[in-house]
């Protein structure tokens, strides 16, 4: 079966007389396309984080297959026309999961009040950040019986929310979409209350399933899931031919209290994964500069610059250490002497004198100058103005050094600033949102203790390693 609009000339497909289609407007600003097959018993509501869900060829493909199974569909835009225009420029609204979930809940409540849909069982289909909105809404309202996500971002949903989700949930991810596979595997572990849960990894597919035949595979496995857990018409249990996780081993590990620990092999491997995540920032219109924070961030930034074919550079920023514990930061300093002080940290440490801070700033600035002489001996100009600048570190613990770096870069008038890291704790990611246009982090744990716990190998980086990368990357 091909993904196309059902027509009366196709044998075995519903005729136009068997489908009721109409355009709907919800809450005066949200527009949607509602399709109800004759004698439908369920409806699937589609969530799309950006652009138009109604005009998405992939969503329409999936909806067509569902319609031919007798399942109604509502493809609705969660952003108004003006909001979509703003989001095209800023890319912010698509990551405002609270806003998207609020809109998605409003559409769900609208469905249960309409005479033609109020008696239908409800399912959700979410893509990318829209998947996060669907998961959050399902947990809060409890009205959806089954959920399917495509290339979803469940990492944008609180872990406690996923723990309480009861709907049968299927995550579908492309086999070449490595970072999103990692996110979805982690989310699968957290669905402890879900009636059913599966991860389907479509071989040789990328994030958007643009390869020939791949979106059709998504459509058919989604239809199978909804037949099993929404319509409940399938006699046999759902068969996941795309599973890469041995089911018994997975359940056994959960029973014994052993959760999967997804760790990066080393900094270079983390950079390769992060590079796949950052590919969306490379286009013909914008110049991109990748800036690694020495030392560890430089190793992570190296494969990212390679993958994006972007300009590469190094900055050195140093933590200002607490006098009580040198591992704790009270702020950070840049090579030009600009300083970020963590006022919340200082408030809890009353006896830190101005004299101590002045001496610590002097000591760390000397080390910055030493490193820059070694790493950037020719005192190159930074390529920042009017560019997309991606600041990369190997992990963010307190956020002090990356905040100091972002504020220094902002002085040089970049087009956009992106902060990227393999791992950062949830509360720090939240605080960084005011420092950059976008935050890109693969792992956002709520129980973060230290960066090294998310790596298999986390050896100290020497000056020589940084120099070797600099010699290879810098072009005279």
Here the tokens at position 144 are 């959806």
Cis peptide before 222 (omega within 30 of 0): no
Residue 112: per-residue pLDDT: 93
CA dist., res. 167 & res. 45, Å (int)? 14
Whether pLDDT at 393 is above 80 = yes
Domain with CATH 3.40.50.1820 in the chain: 16-255
DSSP result, 153-166? -GGGS-HHHHHT--
Dump pLDDT digits (tens) for 327-348.
Answer: 678 899 999 999 998 876 655 5
Chosen CATH of 16-255 out of 3.40.50.1820, 1.10.10.1800, 1.25.40.10, 3.90.1010.10: 3.40.50.1820
Q: Which is higher by pLDDT, 167 or 281?
A: 167
Whether pLDDT at 137 is above 60 = yes
Sign of CA dihedral 187, 253, 262, 175: negative
The CATH number of the domain covering residues in 267-473? 3.40.50.2020
Per-residue confidence band for 246, with pLDDT thresholds at 50, 70 and 90: very low
pTM of the prediction? 0.53
Q: Which is higher by pLDDT, 354 or 7?
A: 354
CA dist., res. 224 & res. 219, Å (int)? 9
Whether pLDDT at 249 is above 60 = no
The average pLDDT across 396-420 equals 95
Q: Which is higher by pLDDT, 257 or 141?
A: 141
Look up tokens 């005066």; give the residue.
28
Domain with CATH 3.40.50.2020 in the chain: 267-473
């Amino acid at each position: 079966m091909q993904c196309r609009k059902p027509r009366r000339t196709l044998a075995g497909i519903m005729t136009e007389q068997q489908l009721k289609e109409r355009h709907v407007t919800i809450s005066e600003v949200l527009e949607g396309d509602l399709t109800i097959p004759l004698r439908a018993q369920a409806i699937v509501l589609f969530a799309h984080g950006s652009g138009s869900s109604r005009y998405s060829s992939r969503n329409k493909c999936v909806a067509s297959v569902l319609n031919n199974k007798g399942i109604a569909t509502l493809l609705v835009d969660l952003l108004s026309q003006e909001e979509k225009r703003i989001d095209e420029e800023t890319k912010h609204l698509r990551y405002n999961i609270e806003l998207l979930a609020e809109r998605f809940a409003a559409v769900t409540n609208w469905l249960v009040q309409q005479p033609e849909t109020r008696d239908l069982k409800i399912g959700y289909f979410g893509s990318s950040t829209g998947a996060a909105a669907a998961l959050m809404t399902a947990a809060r309202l409890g009205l959806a019986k089954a959920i399917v996500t495509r290339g979803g971002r469940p990492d944008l949903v609180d872990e406690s929310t996923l723990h309480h989700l009861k709907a049968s949930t299927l995550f579908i991810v492309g086999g070449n979409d490595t970072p999103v596979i990692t996110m979805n595997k982690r989310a699968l572990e957290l669905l402890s209350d879900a009636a059913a849960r599966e991860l389907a990894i479509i071989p040789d597919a990328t994030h958007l399933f643009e390869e020939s035949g791949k979106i059709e595979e998504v459509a058919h496995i989604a239809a199978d899931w909804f037949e099993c857990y929404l319509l409940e018409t399938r006699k046999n249990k759902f068969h996941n031919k795309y599973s890469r996780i041995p089911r018994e081993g997975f359940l056994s590990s959960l029973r014994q209290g052993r959760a999967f620990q997804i760790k990066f092999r080393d900094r270079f491997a983390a950079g390769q994964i992060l590079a796949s995540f950052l590919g969306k920032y490379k286009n013909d219109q914008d110049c991109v500069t990748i800036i690694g924070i020495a030392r560890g961030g430089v190793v992570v930034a190296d494969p990212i610059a390679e993958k994006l074919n972007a300009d590469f550079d190094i900055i050195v920023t140093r933590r200002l250490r607490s006098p009580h514990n040198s591992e704790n930061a009270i702020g950070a300093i840049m090579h030009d002497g600009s300083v970020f002080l963590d006022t919340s940290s200082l408030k809890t440490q009353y006896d830190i004198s101005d004299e101590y801070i002045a001496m610590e700033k002097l000591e760390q600035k000397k080390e910055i100058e030493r490193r820059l002489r070694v790493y950037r001996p020719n005192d190159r100009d930074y390529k920042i103005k009017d560019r997309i600048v991606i600041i990369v570190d190997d992990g963010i613990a307190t956020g002090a050094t990356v905040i100091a770096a972002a504020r220094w870069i902002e002085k040089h008038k970049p087009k956009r600033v992106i902060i990227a890291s393999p791992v950062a704790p949830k509360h720090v990611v939240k605080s960084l949102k005011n420092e950059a246009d976008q935050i890109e982090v693969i792992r956002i744990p709520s129980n973060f203790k230290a960066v090294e716990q998310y790596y298999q190998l986390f050896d100290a980086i020497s000056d020589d390693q940084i120099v070797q990368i600099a010699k290879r990357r810098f072009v005279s």
